[in-house]
Amino acid sequence: MMEKRDIKQELKLFYTASAKEVTTVDVPAMNFLMVGGQGDPNTSQSFRDAVEALFSVSYTAKFIIKKAPWRLTTG
């Protein structure tokens, strides 16, 4: 079984910003799935299509990784 990770705990500095003090943080390299485009996301059919495709790919990838005999590691 794949070990669960608490990203908010691991990257606590990014999720606990001070309302009184400005600080600089170094953000590590991360991988993301994304789509690009323009227009109003509330009315754009191409936006809806892109989000649907993004969800489909990310949901499938999540379960492929969970079932994989190898494990992704950090470090």
Q: What is the pLDDT of residues 7-32, one digit of tens each?
A: 888 888 888 888 899 988 888 888 88
Which pLDDT does position 68 carry in this prediction? 73
Residue of 30, 25, 26, 34 lying closest to 55 (CA atoms): 34
Binning pLDDT at 50, 70 and 90, where does residue 43 land? very high
Cα distances (Å, whole numbers) of residue 30 to 4, 11, 15, 23: 18, 12, 16, 21
Which pLDDT does position 2 carry in this prediction? 58
Assess whether pLDDT exceeds 80 at residue 50: yes
**Cα–Cα distance for residue pair 30/57, rounded to 1 Å:** 18
